[in-house]
Amino acid sequence: MDVAFLIDASQRVGSDEFKEVKAFITKVLDYFHIAPDPLTSTLGDRVAVLSYSPPGYMPNTEECPVYLEFDLVTYNSIHQMKHHLQDSQQLNGDVFIGHALQWTIDNVFVGTPNLRKNKVIFVISAGETNPSDKEVLRNVSLRAKCQGYSIFVFSFGPKHNDKELEELASHPLDHHLVQLGRTHKPDWDYIVNFVKPFVHLIRRAINKYPTKDMKATCVNMTSPNPENVGTENSILLIPGIYEIKTENGELFDDFNSKEQHFLVLENSHSNGSGTATYLMQKLYLFFSTQKLAVKDKEEAHLEETTAQVVDKQEKE
């Protein structure tokens, strides 16, 4: 699996608490099997650690919302990671969890060679995010979960919004959300014991994120909205490798073919809006059908529901 720890290093965290959080991570690292060559190896776990809430950070500026301690391919041993964490410093800025989460996905996961099917983010938080970040956090966390990231949230401290935490964490919440330390010192040993069995659970959950109760929402997110065609609004696609050949003008190919195909888009200034609309509709239909072709038997009900959505989109 590929794992990123997002540590709250804001002004809300006491210096002793920050040390305890680092000690917690060093203990959890023992449960991972680090890849011997994280850049090229397709086997083994890779771990990144980031702290968020640098001083003076504000959205829509050139400043970074996180401090990158190390990324997924920096170290090939737990000892190196633990040694690095000993020297990490607290940031003492304001909290922008949504922007930190988005930066982590865009710069730590996306583009990293040999990205694992299991993509896990641990968010350790001492309080709710800045009011200007709440909408970003809601949208980013939903997109991340639809893209197959599993998000674990460990909250401590008295200033937390339950709804915010529940929207951030993956489902089921009792497997992904731990709230403690609101009125007393957090029991980090308890959290370590909580993490251990779920590290093994994640390993067995390849392609099980997003979970079944999320997939209907994710399908809606992938549906093209005619009102938005031609705008800068993006349409999220549930991740997978979709390689399509269009040399002969046909968008569809044999689902059982193992050949690699590619979709080539040429710039056209004529009838741009109509082309974009047609392309979005065909891509959406293809992706949805491709997903249906690989469903297992226990997801038959979801398959039927998704098929109805596809039919509706095709008619529209």
CA neighbor of 129 nearest in space, from 91, 163, 167, 95: 95
Is the pLDDT score of 272 beyond 50? no
Average pLDDT over residues 165-176: 88
Stated pTM of the model: 0.68
Question: Average pLDDT for residues 213-237, to the nearest whole number?
Answer: 53
Task: Decide: helix, strand or coil at residue 67.
Answer: strand
- Cα(143)–Cα(221) distance, rounded to whole angstroms? 8
CA dihedral over 182, 188, 193, 196, signed as positive or negative? positive
25-29, 154-158, 278-282, range with greatest mean pLDDT: 25-29
- In whole angstroms, what is the distance from residue 212 CA to residue 218 CA? 10
Residue 309 has pLDDT above 90, yes or no: no
Per the structure block, which two tokens stand in for 21?
A: 């959080």
Cα 220 to chain centroid, rounded:
18
pLDDT band at 188; cut points 50, 70, 90: confident
- Nearest-CA neighbor of 69 among 137, 113, 18? 18
| Mean pLDDT along residues 133-157 | 92
Bigger pLDDT: 42 vs 181:
42
* CA distance linking residue 268 with residue 9, whole number of Å: 48
Judge residue 9's burial from the number of C-beta atoms within 10 Å of its C-beta, 0-12 exposed, 13-18 middle, 19 or more buried. Answer: buried
Query: Two tokens at 198?
Result: 């779920």
pLDDT at position 223 is: 45
Q: Which helix (H) or strand (E) holds 47?
A: strand 46-52
